[in-house]
Amino acid sequence: MSRKCLENKAQMEPKFKVRKYNRCPICGRPRGFLRMFNMCRCCFRSLAREGKIPGVVKSSW
């Protein structure tokens, strides 16, 4: 319940713009957010492995 409350709080417009922070829309994670893909690193990794993000391929060296 507390995570759901924090997700709703993050969606609201803050009184001061510096208080705004990003959350993953899929899982609600506040850290490890990738702005370019609008999701957290965990969700990005799982979706990239499944091939659901166009233009992203697994890199190996």
Q: Which residues are annotated as a binding site for Zn(2+)?
A: 24, 27, 40, 43
DSSP line for 25-60: TTT---SSEETTTTEEHHHHHHHHHHT-STT-----
Q: CB–CB of 30/50 below 8 Å?
A: no
